[in-house]
Amino acid sequence: MAELTELTTAVATGQRAATLRLTQELLAAGHTPSSLVERALVPGMAIVGEQFKRNEIFVPEMLIAARAMKEALKILEPLLIAAGIKPKYTVIIGTVQGDLHDIGKNLISMMWRGAGFAVVDLGTNVSAERYLAAALEHQARLIGLSALLTTTMPAMKETVRVLKAAGVPHLRVVVGGAPITQQFADEIGADGYAADAGSAVELAHRLLAPAA
């Protein structure tokens, strides 16, 4: 009989077909969809995040792991919805206005999804108003802003200003992207900064923890 750890390994190593087969086998063996997410997929993507942070794997390995995870979620999400089970947190992500780059943003999006969050990905070239509207619509607790360009760093600053000025209770704003630093995040009043996709998961958990 398939073990949960096999599914964890299949996701972490990006084995799409094995992930699909094991998900089906484990469901047939009586595991619940939520236990597969929490005890196999989330640990699998946590391994990916850790290995990425340690430079043991790189963007291609991360992409195939995320793709394997998505295969499992295609089966599991309808079952979770049918059972009325919702992710604990909804987070919003997007690349700021004027910036069309999305590799980094997509990696964070995958890792947050892999951490069990509901992720609303607004894509690229997102205005401050769109972030805010999405946060209100989805009752999000966290917004992630990405920027690759020095020329769009001012747009990130403006977005943080608009979101903070809206005064939405419990809404946190985090930033990242190649030219972004902790210092810049502090200067523009963001609630956090992550240097890579693995760190972005830790940051989100820290900010969303009940004590926060």
Cα dist. 96→49, 99, 113, 132, 174 in Å?
A: 24, 6, 20, 12, 12
Q: Residue 151 Cβ, how far from another protein at the closest point, in Å? A: 5
* Least Å from the CB of residue 108 to another protein: 13
- Give 2 or 155: the residue with its C-beta nearer to another protein: 155
CB of 87 to another protein, least distance (A): 24
CA dist., res. 106 & res. 114, Å (int): 12
Q: What minimum distance in Å lies between the beta carbon of 34 and another protein?
A: 28
Nearer to another protein, 2 or 148 (CB): 148
Q: By the criterion CB under 8 A, which residues form the site for another protein?
A: 14, 52, 55, 57-61, 63-64, 67, 97-101, 103-104, 106, 125, 149-155, 178-179, 181, 195-196
Question: What are the CA-CA distances from residue 63 to residues 9, 50, 58, 94, 116 (Å)?
Answer: 15, 14, 9, 18, 17
DSSP 193: E
Q: How many residues does the chain have?
A: 212
Q: Select 101 or 172, whichever has its Cβ closest to another protein.
A: 101
* 88: DSSP letter: S
Segment holding 127, helix H or strand E: none
Q: Which is nearer to another protein, 41 or 57 (CB)?
A: 57
